[in-house]
Chains A and B, each alone.
Chain A
Amino acid sequence: MGKHITLQVDGSSHDFDMADPTTPLLYLLRDDLGLNNPHFGCGLSQCGACTVLVNGTPMRSCVLPATAANDANITTLAGLGTPEHPHPVQQAFIDEQAFFCGYCMNGWVMTAVALVRDKPHATDAEIRHAFSGLKCRCGSHMSIIRAVKRLTEAA
């Protein structure tokens, strides 16, 4: 029997026996909990498709060992809001019709959630700086920036 850990995921508590303590958080979320996001993009912490909030901080679940997230509060896209009660960031991205394939959106949305929380009046340069490093292959960048500005310029 491996190490025992507990994760709070989108408000629910889950216990795991970690036979392999190196297993990245991503595989617990996807394979053990059956969540449809985050996504596997690179497994190298280079793209952001696997991003979740760990105690409020956007982190790459593809490289974060699940054991390092023991007792943490984890929020995925699905935990941000619902169609009836969307998170403002979700609503802004819907209103802006951001994204094409959308496979990358975990990184952008989770980073946006942290950004508008920490810098509600973020400038264009601060928005670009916060997002730098995230990948979007379809070229959604313009609508992503506009979506965030719906919040930062209204705040």
Chain B
Amino acid sequence: MVAFNQLMLSRRRALCTGGALFVSFATSACSSSETTAATGMGSATKPALTPPELDSWIAVKQDNSVVGYFGKVDVGLGIQVAIAQIIADELDVGFDQVSVVMGDTAFTVNQGGASGSTGLELGSVSVRNAAAQARAQLLAMAAAKFGAPASRLTVNDGIVSLADEPGKTISYGDLIGGRYFDYELTWNHKIGNELLVEGTAPLKNHADYRVVGKSIPRADIADKLFGNEVFNTDVRVPGMLHGRMVRPPVAGAIVVKVHPESVQLLPDVQLVVHNNLVGVVAAKEWTAIQAAKLLKIDWSTPKPAFPAEADLYKTIESAKTVGKGGPKPTGDTKATMAAASKTIEATYLWPFQSHASMGPACAIVDVQPDHVTIWTGDQKPHYVRDGVAALLGVPAAKVHAIWLRGPGSYGRNDGGDSAMDAAVLSKAVGKPVRVQYMRIDATAWDPKGPASVHKTSAGIDANGKVVAYHYRSIAFSRENIASHPDDPTQSLAGQFMGMPVSSKQAFDVPDETYDFGVQHLDWEVVPALLDRASPLRTSHLRDPLGPQINFASECFMDELALATNMDPVAFRLKYLKDKRGTVVIEAAAKAANWQPQMGHPGKPQGVLLKGRGMAFARRKDTRVAVIVDVEVDRHTGRVWPRHWFVAHDCGLIVNPNTLRRVIEGNIVHATSRALFEEVAFNPHMVTSVDWLSYPILDIKDAPESINITLINHKDDLPLGAGEPSSRPVASAIANAVFNATGIRFRQAPLTKARVKAAFI
């Protein structure tokens, strides 16, 4: 009994009671809201929103429903349901009793937003710990109520029952409903993805899960289909005005003169100009759009910021190195290769790519003298709050970011920038301002996935064994601007307004753990082409760096298999030192009925050429193997990946059907990137401005089937799934195209023009 009373004793009440063990011994020095003897269990006052407070994670309402507070967000992959499933099991309530609030900075702590496929792998851990602790607190309350040990209590759907005494039941809601736990968890003092809180309550055995593992559908799909979902683009605030931004026509241009008279015929247009940041504000959205189009500005004519697009990779290879890194080499690759009986090498190329989210980013910001409110669809709302606070020079505590579902998000897209721009406009006009970008702002001006060159080489001994391997990425940094939108100097608004600029220099090497004995994996970063407000500034795009690094490494594995006269599957199984990786490769091969591919496919004849290829990927601890059957049209150059076989291991599976959808989405999105997506530019400007100039996959090119083998580790923790299956897609397609055509394509995307040209 004492142990349970200690468990339920809150920190605040402990102060009030001078350290006494029992809740009801409150002293008169405590206010009534901090005592519980007369009013039931828990505290009437909600503790401040801090990570260690249990009330920052879980609330029990009087109707016995439960609210989970999740400091990440669901950008469409269904994690809101998965989090509710985890809470339901850990708290012993039904799934339908649980709702999950996401990303609102007034109700959730900063768990990093949607980031790095960590929603379940990291984000759910604290939620689960909190739910387990909440259950223990509730059982302790029930034990006190019944005067019985908690060991005699059972819980079903949030109703606590005393064993062998049928009348003795009480709901969670009756124990604490509408009040607060006021209990402090242990916190690792980190925020963002790494934030972790832990309680003292034991966690449930996975074998006892009843809700986790079930394919519970997403509720938001129906809401959206009936038009009931309020996207962030749908927010309408009283007095709200509409803003649009006016970007320079040429990268690096600055404002020489603004001509307000050019928009004087439009009703009530306000101009906002801070150095080179230019925005227009109007009562009607259509008016703002027209004003942005009509506003005449004299821009400077800077010298060209970019090389010709055709010279992109030459520029990367000849640029100076501003950063480098990689794991310590295992031996001397140069010397080993020099002594090898055969060496092969290859260079792979990957372009800049755009997020090109389905809707241009939108944010509504209301800057009031003492408070700022943001409505954002950005995938990292806490960092949006911090960024806007820093931009406006107000404490983050005075800024409230409300997250709503937005138009797709795959990393640092244009969402963070839109909130900064809206904040500038709102402050200038003193009204809430909604900024939604135009398509050109989203496609030409979003942060880009970096272009890169990857040089691979290997030495093979007289027995046909690979004895040395060198992999080098030479690339623009993964983060010319930070992946979190929390720093105005890393936003378009800040950079147009003249804030200082900086760039982090980082790239990466393959994650897959092949062991070739002597190997050297490293990366070099080259300078950004334009250091301020560049439409080619880089940041995180879905599975940042994964597809491009894997494209080079997994295509080169096939090249090595050919050079050592091995089947690509057998080659990988021979050199991969990763048991879980081996399992997914074998599972994919089995599902596809893989037949060994030995030797060069030659130069197959005919118009429609068919081939099959595979690739493996590891992303953190998630493993994916894919096999694809492609069809290549010699006359048009069209590559059509028709059938996919995916084997996927992301640890414990929380929701199988949703996971299957997520994998399908990754395969299709990554196919789009592998075959179609390449940011076009000329020396002056990005020329990918819409869906014609930045084409993506059309449904005619969608696969016919995606066969998925899920490998479930019921005793493991869940790992990431939002990105890993994007990683091996381009590699597998290129390997399959080689199998079909005998032509090795080492430049992505494998566009029709590029493929057709290779046949001539």
Contact = CB atoms under 8 A, between A and B. Distances in A.
Interface of A: 20, 23-24, 27, 30-31, 34-37, 39-44, 46-47, 49, 76-78, 80-83, 86, 90, 93-94, 97-105, 109, 124, 128-129, 131-145
B202 interface: no
A136 B668 CA distance: 10
Nearest to A100: B76
Given A105-B225, A137-B696, A30 B285 contact: yes
Nearest to B215: A97
Interface string B208-237: 000000000110111011111111011010
Contacts of B702: 128, 141-142, 145
A98 B699 CA distance: 14
Interface centre among A27, A41, A42, A47 (most CB of B within 10 A): A42
B438 interface: yes
Nearest to B287: A20
Given A41-B359, A80-B226, 15 more contacts: A30-B285, A42-B439, A43-B438, A49-B358, A49-B359, A77-B225, A86-B225, A93-B221, A94-B217, A99-B76, A101-B405, A102-B76, A103-B357, A129-B700, A141-B697
A23 B217 CA distance: 39
A117 B289 CA distance: 36
A144 B221 contact: no
Contacts of A138: 76, 358, 408, 665, 669
Contacts of B228: 36, 78
B699 A46 contact: no
Sorted nearest first, the 8 A-B pairs with minimum C-beta distance are: A139-B668, A78-B227, A100-B76, A101-B76, A103-B407, A141-B702, A102-B224, A139-B669
B666 A103 contact: no
A36 B658 contact: no
Interface of B: 75-77, 217-218, 220-222, 224-231, 233-234, 236, 284-286, 289, 356-360, 405-409, 436, 438-439, 657-658, 661, 664-669, 671-672, 690-692, 696-700, 702-704, 706
Contacts of B226: 77-78, 80-83, 86, 90
B661 A97 contact: yes
Nearest to B407: A103
Contact of A139 (B234, B657, B672): B672
B657 A97 contact: yes
Contacts of A49: 358-359, 407
Contacts of B222: 83, 90, 94
21 contacts: A36-B228, A36-B229, A36-B230, A44-B691, A76-B227, A78-B227, A90-B225, A99-B76, A99-B221, A100-B75, A100-B76, A101-B409, A103-B406, A105-B224, A128-B700, A138-B76, A139-B664, A139-B667, A142-B706, A143-B661, A145-B699
Contacts of B664: 139, 142-143
A110 B691 CA distance: 20
Given A36-B231, A139-B666, A143-B664, A101 B436 contact: no
Nearest to A98: B221
B436 to A, nearest CB: 6
A24 B672 CA distance: 31
B697 to A, nearest CB: 8
Given A36-B229, A103-B231, A135 B696 contact: yes
Contacts of A105: 224-225
A37 B672 CA distance: 26
B231 A39 contact: yes
Contacts of A40: 233, 359-360, 436
Nearest to A141: B702
A35 to B, nearest CB: 7
Contacts of B698: 132-133
A136 B661 CA distance: 14
B356 A137 contact: yes
Contacts of A78: 226-228
A82 B664 CA distance: 28
A136 B359 CA distance: 10
Contacts of B289: 43
